Amino acid sequence: METATGKRMRFLERAGLAAAGLGCALAASSCAAAPTGVSVAADPVAAVRSAGTASLKIGSAEVATSVSMTAQGRTDEFSGTGAFDFARQLGSITLTVPPDVSTHSTLDEVVTPTVLYMRPTGSTGKWVQVDSQRLADGDLISAGYTSPILAFAMLTGAGASGGAVKYVGQDKVYDIPVAHYAGTLNLLAAAKAAPAPENAALAAAGGSFTKQAVPFDVYLDADGRVRRFVAHFEFPAPAPAKGSVTIVSSTDLYDLGKKVTVAAPAAADVLAAN
């Protein structure tokens, strides 16, 4: 039989729990319902679409990239670090490439809105020039990474053509608090909204990729700027191979606003590619 003391203790425990619950309801700032990290956008689609414009205002940033390419059961991994000047739309990347892709373990690349320049790291020879407008994907991933400029432009197609965007949760990128959103974006819709020459690159990619709906994840900081962008692409394997090539491309931004000194190679230092 429960004693009077036992009944009193049980009553006090219940009263304490009730008071704690009431306290949470009245003071959200001190309980589990309190907001933490980065504020969540009321409209995830609008937040993601405007993130590219907000990010361009950064001016410049350090960049880390990675690309995983899988075809016929084999996966190749690319990774690189560099810097981008968003105002001039110029960037440089030192890219680590798999041995079956190049005899050089690393390549130096300079990317402009319409031309990609490449040469082995440490080389003093001429740069190889590639016209990105002639590439099937508009150089969206042909360089071995996705440039931040094109990533920003792609986000304008978030949630378009029946796609959706949702809030996933709180996270950190390079120790910076971010809000994580995920969904699909439409390349052709992004092309229509993007300025030249990004619109041409996105239109080319939209015509060559297997699926128009591109799954993506984006991580936005407290100012609504992109800190990490991950996209999943798929396109038909080149003949005579069959099946599809799947690619996961990730672009990170850090040291926002850091001065970037990058320039396109002089004409005398460039060898036009075939």
| Predicted pLDDT at 273 | 58
| Predicted pLDDT at 73 | 86
| Predicted pLDDT at 128 | 93
Q: Does the reported pTM lie above 0.85?
A: no
**Which residues in the chain land under pLDDT 70?**
1-36, 102, 272-274
| Predicted pLDDT at 113 | 85
- Exposure letters 79-100 (e unless 16+ CB within 10 A, then b): bbebbbbbeebbbbbebbbeee
| Predicted pLDDT at 207 | 83
| Predicted pLDDT at 37 | 87
Alpha carbons within 13 angstroms on the beta-carbon side of residue 156 total 19
| Predicted pLDDT at 272 | 62
Within 8 A by CB and 6+ apart from 85, the residues are 59, 60, 91, 260, 262
DSSP string covering the chain, please?
A: ---HHHHHHHHHHHHHHHHHHHHHHH-GGGSTTS--SSPPPSSHHHHHHHHHHHHHTT-EEEEEEEEEEEETTEEEEEEEEEEEETTTTEEEEEEE--TTT-SSSEEEEEE-SSEEEEEETT--SPEEEEEGGGSTTTTSSTTSS--HHHHHHHGGGBT-TT--EEEEEEEEETTEEEEEEEEEEEHHHHHHHSPTTHHHHHHHHHHHSS-SEEEEEEEE-TTS-EEEEEEEEEEEPPTT--SEEEEEEEEEEESTT------PPPGGGEEE--
Nearest to 83 by CA among 108, 60, 107, 57: 60
- List, in sequence order, every residue forming a beta bridge with 110; answer none if it has no partner: 92, 117
Q: How far is residue 37 from each of residues 26, 30, 34, 176, 177, measured CA to CA in Å? A: 21, 14, 10, 9, 6
